[in-house]
Chain A
């Protein structure tokens, strides 16, 4: 008897389940997911968005984002410019020194040419006076 009752109950449940499935199919209409056909079901993402919005107060609709690191960047740009100025000064001084050296070298070369010229004239004079010179 108990077994019979259990079997009957199981059969009833299966019948009911089938009926539910059939009625779901009849009510939901087409199987393809075209907009508006299927009944609206909850999308987890929509619920998440609602929660996010509720967690924050909303008073001012206008949104303003400020990049505070721009001032960091300006400070770095200014520091770089200072370094560039100092480097430029040093470069100018180095340049002046280089110019001096170049002038000195040029002067020395002129001096050497004069001395060579004088020596050649002396040699010529000595040879003219019959004095033999080694090369």
Chain B
């Protein structure tokens, strides 16, 4: 009798132990690393060499590494390690080598998304990513950092996804494409993304995007705020500069042309496939970009209204946005062919350190616009850390966030 009682007790206790754990302790749900939050600890950039790429960015990498806080560690993807020499006693940068025969871009933002819980970080890659060999970036990082790479079926680009404190914002094109490919409704597609990223999803826009990547025009901030680009304001500032100081604009335009290949004496290059790459004409194009920027303003206002209706406080940031309807370089490219710089002051990195909000802000070289953007961010409570040298990158449609993927926050 006693033995039977003890046996029954033992069995009951075993069952309780086995089934109680999930009731009392819930496993942390991995969720997308937000664009707003605590101190940035680890980022990834990529560097391309002059002999392997027409868009080489050594100087820009220097500006980014030195512009970020000194205790941010940088994983630097390279496909031509031998081309690069670095300062001795460098403790901040770890080179991550991609196979030398592969061709990578300077945009590590797009080929994967970072999710983490309290214990683990994972890199989520899309079902397909055809831009050069950028799909290799996640696996190479995984090998060095020991993080898991999870391949999703869904199709996405990191630049068309930004993450706030509680919600993920995804551009309409990404939702629409997946809806069509997988034969799902838009809502069902959003649910799938919400499950993948561990957060509620908000679609930005309800029609085909005028701007390919929303991270050029939308920036989640803390305390229920979102910054949205204002191309009308950007156009006004640029127009004033063009009227009052046309020489400055001409100088900027010439610098864009001269700096395109990194050397003023180079007018054309040949890419790996033997196709000629010519420097685009920038001189005289600011006036046209101003007009294009004004035309785009209404659609950006719509996005601001949509987010305001959702309960967010909207901050408007100037931007000068040229025509986005130019031909793509190839079918597989998702950035436009080089043209007038896309001057976005939303494509930033932000962090909060001991109640201080910091923004790392790209600078393009039109002083009035750069300064206006700095003042705008300062008015909204941020300490601004400008990072120079983005005009060539912007001619290819990308800025700081495109070039710098945050992997870890404190």
Contact = CB atoms under 8 A, between A and B. Distances in A.
B90 to A, nearest CB: 6
Interface in B87-128: 87-94, 116-121
B296 interface: no
A43 B61 contact: no
B73 A53 contact: yes
Given A3-B3, A42-B119, A22 B84 contact: no
B16 A63 contact: no
Contacts of A135: none
Interface string B377-402: 00000000000000000000000000
B325 interface: no
B348 interface: no
Interface stretch (B19-27, B223-231, B233-241): B19-27
Interface stretch (A33-41, A88-96, A104-112, A115-123): A33-41
A77 B265 contact: yes
A68 to B, nearest CB: 6
A68 B83 contact: yes
A52 interface: yes
* A contact face: mostly helix, strand, loop, or mixed: helix
B92 A18 contact: no
Nearest to A10: B10
Given A33-B117, A63-B62, A67-B56, A25 B24 contact: yes
Given A33-B118, A49-B73, A74 B16 contact: no
User: What's the interface size class on B, roughly?
Assistant: 35 or more
Contact of B87 (A3, A15, A60, A74): A60
A18 B146 contact: no
A52 B89 contact: no
Contact of B28 (A24, A33, A57, A74): A33
B123 to A, nearest CB: 10
A3 B3 CA distance: 9
Contacts of A3: 3
A38 B120 CA distance: 15
Interface of B: 2-3, 6-7, 9-10, 13-14, 16-17, 20-21, 24-26, 28-29, 31, 37-38, 41-42, 47, 49-52, 56, 58, 61-62, 65-66, 70, 73-74, 76, 80, 82-94, 116-121, 145-147, 262-263, 265-266, 407-408
The 8 closest A-B pairs by CB, nearest first: A58-B91, A14-B13, A25-B24, A59-B89, A31-B26, A69-B51, A69-B83, A64-B87
Given A32-B26, A66-B85, 12 more contacts: A18-B20, A33-B28, A43-B118, A45-B147, A46-B41, A49-B73, A57-B89, A61-B92, A65-B62, A67-B47, A69-B50, A69-B51
